[in-house]
């Protein structure tokens, strides 16, 4: 069976989306061009390019990149610790539960070995910046394991069902591939016909449907084969998607104007303070300034009727007006980002635990909203991982595909209180011991329950 090579996911070009002439005719739409341009603008803003137009000669432009700080802070609250997953059994019989436990341990080991927690945090940041994120999930036949890589949404064109934007029918992926890495999919005759240079990078287009997998290099089709997976190997994530569209919205959209105005006001205040440190000498009724120098101990001889003084830019509370406006922008920035100052560890006053929870509630709601998006992503990704492990890895999974996400708490919690709640739920028959142990952070509840049973049997035997 022909499997796609384990190539690195890269954009075509060093720092740009694939060139328009790289895509096959009829693949891209006007919306795709607009989306790619929007991605580039948002990434540039996130990286600090936040002023409009070119700077004039000797003009100083300060950038206080609160946008990056707020995005990273939110992502850290979404993923404060690695996420864990539970695999529900098909029924409540003992063999079914044992099977589900084995699959759960296999999935946890696979996720840990692939370090997907780091990938999730990086994708959460990218998702908030440009509004979209993507992963490609394939089987590495050489290493005999699944492979998951992040894919730039600016290298993807997605087609969907006419009446349902959430049903993906085809995915086109464009990137650059060095000639030396094309030998796995191209025959010697094909490489000779294209005069492949090992040191040159060629435009590659992968097109996927549930039935077919096609690969073109420099515009020439080199692979047209049945899809070895039976599903499209891409998982897409979208941040607050717009109704009627699968593409999401950036968290920066509401922050751009405020950040730009904050940069301008801070720059103005910086200039005022700089000029106040080196005040301007003002001369009145003087024809020229020859022989007049400004410095400690300097003496001036002025004609009769002339007057000299230093311009005080801070006189009359001018600086306080700037600072008050900057404070207003600062508050607006936190309100629009739904990230109170308390999230940075500084509430400015002594508050009780309940009051702190109320104050940080906007961020908690925002995090929970984002986690609902990730719930769907994880369900899809885990199902594809389990399918690969069973179909190509030979793992005894028994067709299990469904998983349930176990999220870490958004805020630091009182463990004693959590334990008391878990004990009450178990005693009341509302929750199983295994579920209670999982919610308390136990990585292997089954092994821990087995040790508890062994200790109980040992105590009874003595």
Question: What's the distance, Cα to Cα, between the start and end of the chain in Å?
Answer: 59
CA dihedral 31, 34, 39, 45 (to 10 degrees): -150
Confidence band for 236, pLDDT divided at 50, 70 and 90:
very high
Q: What confidence score (pLDDT) does residue 355 get?
A: 66
Q: What confidence score (pLDDT) does residue 286 get?
A: 67
**242/312: higher pLDDT:** 242
Q: What confidence score (pLDDT) does residue 240 get?
A: 86
Instruction: Yes or no: say if 401 and 383 are a contact pair by the CB < 8 Å rule.
Output: yes
**For residue 15, is pLDDT > 50?**
no
Q: What confidence score (pLDDT) does residue 299 get?
A: 65
Q: Which of 195-199, 245-249, 394-398 has the lowest mean pLDDT?
A: 195-199
Q: What confidence score (pLDDT) does residue 311 get?
A: 58
Instruction: Yes or no: say if 88 and 382 are a contact pair by the CB < 8 Å rule.
Output: no
**For residue 385, is pLDDT > 90?**
yes
**For residue 394, is pLDDT > 70?**
yes
**For residue 342, is pLDDT > 70?**
yes
Distance of CA 268 to the CA centre of its chain: 33
Q: What confidence score (pLDDT) does residue 322 get?
A: 81
Mean pLDDT across 135-149:
92
Tell me the DSSP string of 104-128: HHHHHHHHHHTTHHHHHHHHHHHHH
CA dihedral 302, 307, 312, 313 (to 10 degrees): -110
- Other C-beta atoms closer than 10 Å to the C-beta of 84 total 21
**For residue 119, is pLDDT > 60?**
yes
Q: What confidence score (pLDDT) does residue 10 get?
A: 44
- For the chain, the domains span 256-340, 413-461
CA distance 205 to 216: 5
Instruction: Yes or no: say if 380 and 148 are a contact pair by the CB < 8 Å rule.
Output: no
Which two structure tokens, joined as six digits, stand for 147? 């492979």
Q: Give counts: helices (H), strands (E), the chain.
A: 12, 12
Instruction: Yes or no: say if 173 and 32 are a contact pair by the CB < 8 Å rule.
Output: no
**354/260: higher pLDDT:** 260
**For residue 447, is pLDDT > 80?**
no
Q: What confidence score (pLDDT) does residue 368 get?
A: 92
Mean pLDDT across 238-253:
88
Q: What confidence score (pLDDT) does residue 393 get?
A: 92
CA distance 103 to 183: 36
Percent of the chain with pLDDT over 90: 44
Confidence band for 248, pLDDT divided at 50, 70 and 90:
very high
**What predicted TM-score, i.e. pTM, was given to this entire model?**
0.80
CA distance 186 to 189: 8
Tell me the DSSP string of 297-334: T------TT-EEEEE-TTTTSHHHHHHHHHHHHHHHHH
**For residue 4, is pLDDT > 90?**
no
CA distance 104 to 95: 14
Q: Which residue is associated with the tokens 């990704």?
A: 381
Q: What confidence score (pLDDT) does residue 12 get?
A: 37
Burial of 352 (0-12, 13-18, 19+ CB in 10 A): exposed
Note the pLDDT tens digit of each residue in 173-232: 998 888 888 877 777 777 787 788 888 888 889 999 999 999 988 888 888 999 999 999
CA distance 38 to 131: 10
Q: Which residues pair with 418 in a beta bridge?
A: none
**434/104: higher pLDDT:** 104
CA dihedral 250, 325, 60, 337 (to 10 degrees): -20
Q: What confidence score (pLDDT) does residue 369 get?
A: 93
Average pLDDT over the chain reads 83
Q: What is the CA radius of gyration of the chain?
A: 30
CA distance 261 to 230: 51
Which two structure tokens, joined as six digits, stand for 261? 């105005």
């Amino acid at each position: 069976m022909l499997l796609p090579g384990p190539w690195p996911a890269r954009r075509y070009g060093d720092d740009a989306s694939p060139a328009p002439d790289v895509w096959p005719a009829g693949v891209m739409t006007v919306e795709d061009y607009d989306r790619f341009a929007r991605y580039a603008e948002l990434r540039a803003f996130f990286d600090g390019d936040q002023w409009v137009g070119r700077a004039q000669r000797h003009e100083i432009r300060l950038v206080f990149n609160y946008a990056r700080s707020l995005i990273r802070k939110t992502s850290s609250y979404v993923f404060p610790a690695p996420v864990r997953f539970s695999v529900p059994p098909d029924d409540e019989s003992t063999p079914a539960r044992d099977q589900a436990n084995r699959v759960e341990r296999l999935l946890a080991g696979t996720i840990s070995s692939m370090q997907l927690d780091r990938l999730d945090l990086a994708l959460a940041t990218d998702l908030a910046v440009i509004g979209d994120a993507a992963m490609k999930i394939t089987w590495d036949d050489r290493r005999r394991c699944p492979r998951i890589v992040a894919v730039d949404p600016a290298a993807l064109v997605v087609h969907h069902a006419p009446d349902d934007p959430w049903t993906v029918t085809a995915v086109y992926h464009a990137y650059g591939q060095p000639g030396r890495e094309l030998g796995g999919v191209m025959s010697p005759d094909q490489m000779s016909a294209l005069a492949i240079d090992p040191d040159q990078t060629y435009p590659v287009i992968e097109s996927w449907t549930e039935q077919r997998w096609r690969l073109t290099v420099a515009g020439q089709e080199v692979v047209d084969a049945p899809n070895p997976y039976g599903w499209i190997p891409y998982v897409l994530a979208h941040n607050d998607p717009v109704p009627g569209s699968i593409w999401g919205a950036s968290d920066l959209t509401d922050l751009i104007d405020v950040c730009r105005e904050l940069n301008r006001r801070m720059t103005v205040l910086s200039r005022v303070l700089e000029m106040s440190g080196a005040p301007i000498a003002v001369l009145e009724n003087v024809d020229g300034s020859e022989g007049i120098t400004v410095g400690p101990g300097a003496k001036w001889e002025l004609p009769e009727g002339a007057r000299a003084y230093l311009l005080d830019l801070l006189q009359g509370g001018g600086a306080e007006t700037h600072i008050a406006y900057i404070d207003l922008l600062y508050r607006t920035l936190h309100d629009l980002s739904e990230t109170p100052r308390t999230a940075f560890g500084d509430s400015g006053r002594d508050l009780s635990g309940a009051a702190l929870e109320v104050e940080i509630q906007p961020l908690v709601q925002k995090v929970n909203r984002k986690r609902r998006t990730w719930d769907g992503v994880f369900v899809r990704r885990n199902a594809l991982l389990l399918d690969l492990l069973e179909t190509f890895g030979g793992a005894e999974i028994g067709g299990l595909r469904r998983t349930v996400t176990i999220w870490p708490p958004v805020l630091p919690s009182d463990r004693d209180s959590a334990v008391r709640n878990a004990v009450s739920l178990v005693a009341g028959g509302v929750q199983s011991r295994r579920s209670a142990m999982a919610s308390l952070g136990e990585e292997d509840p089954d092994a821990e329950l087995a040790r508890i049973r062994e200790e109980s049997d040992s105590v009874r035997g003595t």
